[in-house]
């Protein structure tokens, strides 16, 4: 698979502050890639450099092989970009706005009509005659994604596309992003873990200007979190906790609010054999024993830390 984005040693310094500190990252073509990080991590800075709106202090970025500094116009022909605070002509309808945006890319006639109709459909805005000024935030954001697609880019970059939306608005934008899978590579920044879990097949986690993890979603969870089992037993939980803490394959134990135990393990097979046995030895009854995935949130807190 070829790379839509290749970033190497990317560094951006503002005065004494290193907003980006040697970022290395590869986004494969065809992926829906989540660029996850807390506020101030450097996500916007990265996207601005990739789209030619800012220049790096050091390092390089390539989009489909084009250098983002030396070949800005070749890069711009390949990308669509929705900034974190997009601007709209509020007196236009969605149809007028997309036709206007298409015109800026030299589209006209049948080609423009066809593209605009397809994008209105994708955004769920077909037939909406309300002017943009009267839209909900979710509608505006869907229109923004549509507008970023007007030049049929191979790569769509979205800066925090869901952060100002309510749950329904978020779901609609995420569904729109998911529907692009296989057609357009999507690279979007967010600080919302659930969004990444919902639509992304790959993720990179940025913290204080550095990539602290980058992997396929499934790989990231297993690499950093291992597997988790949730147990429900009769009897004395503290005794069981003491016993399990002594096992080498147990990486963490948490007692959940409802009394169940969440046990994370490094060796799943050892856990499957030994957990029921350990419970039996203590004379406890096993009521429930369920394998569960580690959530991205747990991985994130582990890597980035809870304290900011």
Q: Are 122 and 176 in contact (CB under 8 A)?
A: yes
Nearest approach, Cβ of residue 201 and ligand ATP (Å): 22
Q: Count the site residues for ligand ATP by CB under 6 A.
A: 12
Who's near 209: CB < 8 A, 6+ residues apart?
12, 18, 19, 20, 21, 22, 23, 41, 42
Answer for which of 8, 14, 239, 287 binds ligand ATP (CB under 6 A) is 14
- C-beta of 44 vs 147, nearer to ligand ATP: 44
Nearer to ligand ATP, 92 or 192 (CB): 192
Q: Is 252 in the site for ligand ATP (CB under 6 A)?
A: no
Query: Which span sits near ligand ATP by CB under 6 A: 41-49, 167-175, 229-237, 270-278?
Result: 41-49
Does position 41 interact with ligand ATP (CB under 6 A)? The reply is: yes
39 binds ligand ATP (CB under 6 A): yes
**What is the biggest distance separating any 2 CA atoms in the chain, rounded to whole angstroms?**
79
Applying CB under 6 A, does 51 fall inside the site for ligand ATP?
no
Name, in order, each residue with C-beta under 8 angstroms of 265's C-beta and a sequence gap of 6 or more.
Answer: 226, 227, 228, 229, 249, 250, 251, 271
Residue with the two structure tokens 């690499």: 223
Give the nearer residue to ligand ATP in terms of CB position, either 171 or 191.
191
Interface segment toward ligand ATP; rule CB under 6 A; list 13-21, 110-118, 259-267, 268-276 = 13-21
Give residues with Cβ within 8 angstroms of 11, minimum separation 6: 18, 20, 21, 22, 23, 56, 57, 58, 59
Name which of residues 196 to 225 contact ligand ATP (CB under 6 A).
none
Q: Which of 10, 19, 150, 177 binds ligand ATP (CB under 6 A)?
A: 19
Q: How many CB atoms lie within 10 A of CB 112?
A: 18
CA atoms of 11 and 5, how far apart (whole Å): 16
| 193 in contact with ligand ATP (CB under 6 A) | no
Q: Which listed range, 12-20, 114-122, 169-177, 223-231, lies at the site for ligand ATP (CB under 6 A)?
A: 12-20
Beta bridge partners of 203: 34, 215
Burial of residue 128 (CB within 10 Å: 0-12, 13-18, 19+) is middle
Give the separation between CA 98 and CA 161, rounded to whole angstroms: 18
Q: Among 42, 52, 83, 144, which residue sits at the site for ligand ATP (rule: CB under 6 A)?
A: 42
Binding region for ligand ATP (CB under 6 A): 14, 17, 19, 37, 39-45, 191
């Amino acid at each position: 698979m070829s790379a839509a984005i290749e970033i190497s040693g990317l560094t951006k310094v503002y005065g004494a502050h290193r907003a980006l500190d040697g970022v290395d990252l590869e986004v494969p073509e065809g992926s829906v890639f989540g660029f996850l990080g807390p506020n101030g991590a450097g996500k916007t800075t990265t996207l601005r450099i990739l789209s030619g709106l800012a220049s790096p202090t050091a390092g390089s970025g390539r989009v489909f092989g084009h250098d983002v500094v030396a070949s800005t116009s070749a890069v711009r022909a390949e990308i669509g970009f929705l900034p974190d605070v997009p601007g709209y002509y509020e007196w236009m309808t969605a149809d007028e706005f997309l036709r206007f945006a298409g015109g800026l890319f030299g589209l006209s006639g049948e080609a423009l009509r066809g593209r605009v109709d397809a994008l209105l459909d994708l955004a769920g805005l077909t037939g909406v005659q309300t002017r943009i000024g009267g839209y909900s935030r979710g509608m505006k954001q869907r229109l923004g994604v549509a507008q970023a697609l007007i030049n049929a880019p191979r790569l769509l970059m979205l800066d925090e596309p869901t952060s100002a939306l309510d749950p329904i608005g978020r779901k609609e934008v995420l569904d729109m992003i998911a529907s692009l899978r296989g057609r357009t590579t999507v690279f979007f920044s967010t600080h919302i873990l659930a969004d990444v879990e919902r639509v992304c097949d790959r993720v990179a986690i940025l913290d204080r200007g550095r990539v602290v993890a980058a992997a396929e979603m499934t790989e990231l969870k297993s690499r950093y979190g291992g597997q988790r089992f949730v147990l429900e037993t009769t009897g004395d939980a503290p005794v069981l906790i003491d016993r399990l803490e002594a096992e080498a394959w147990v990486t963490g134990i948490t007692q959940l609010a409802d009394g169940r135990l969440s046990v994370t393990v490094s060796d799943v097979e050892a856990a499957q054999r030994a957990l029921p046995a350990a419970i039996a030895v203590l004379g406890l009854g096993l009521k429930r024993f369920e394998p569960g995935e580690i959530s991205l949130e747990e991985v994130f807190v582990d890597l980035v830390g809870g304290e900011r």
